[in-house]
């Protein structure tokens, strides 16, 4: 039975830190589903379709990675996907408190799920989607932070120059 992992997030937008986590997970698991959250109560810069498009364009070379969307409880999505592994990225120590709580809740709701924490390459530990959007709004170059397709969408959204 293939080992399927789910890497959930808003990916608003996908950063090279996210991509690093996806690539690492693809080396560890048979299949990785990048699950773009569809939470209407959150205010996103990009629609679910745009966020999925960014991810798809950025992982085109990863044969064992797919993109999907989910709403509702993550563990329900994981069960439906027949996955047992939940991937979470940790950038800084302060991320651990929240992620530990979520891992505990998810395990309580679905005993079969194991949460695997991955740290991005150190060059991406400072990187967040919020920081990337703020840098783009100022017109600064964002190429070191996101893939080409993501950079183009961000620049269009914020009408920024390279």
Percent helix / strand / coil, the chain, rounded to 5: 45, 20, 40
Sign of CA dihedral 119, 121, 123, 128: negative
8 A C-beta contact, residue 112 and residue 50:
no
Widest Cα–Cα separation across the chain: 48
Comparing C-alpha atoms, which of 99, 9, 92, 96 is closest to residue 58? Answer: 9
User: What phi and psi values does residue 6 have, to the nearest 5 degrees?
Assistant: -115, 130
- Residues designated catalytic: 18, 42, 91, 129
Q: Residue 9 is inside which H or E element, if any? A: strand 4-9
């Amino acid at each position: 039975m293939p080992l399927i992992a789910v890497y959930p997030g808003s990916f608003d937008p996908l950063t090279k830190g996210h991509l690093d986590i996806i690539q690492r997970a693809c080396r560890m698991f048979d299949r990785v589903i990048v699950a773009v959250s569809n939470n209407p109560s959150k205010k996103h810069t990009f629609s679910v379709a745009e966020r999925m498009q960014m991810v798809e364009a950025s992982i085109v070379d990863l044969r064992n990675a797919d993109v999907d969307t989910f709403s509702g409880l993550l563990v329900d999505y994981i069960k439906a996907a027949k996955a047992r592994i939940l991937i979470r990225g940790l950038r800084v120590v302060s991320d651990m408190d929240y992620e530990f709580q979520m891992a505990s809740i998810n395990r309580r709701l679905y005993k079969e799920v194991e949460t695997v924490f991955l740290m991005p390459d150190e060059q991406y530990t400072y990187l967040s989607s919020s920081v990337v959007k703020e840098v783009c709004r100022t017109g600064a170059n964002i190429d070191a932070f996101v893939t080409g397709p993501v950079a183009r969408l961000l620049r269009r959204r914020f009408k920024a120059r390279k």
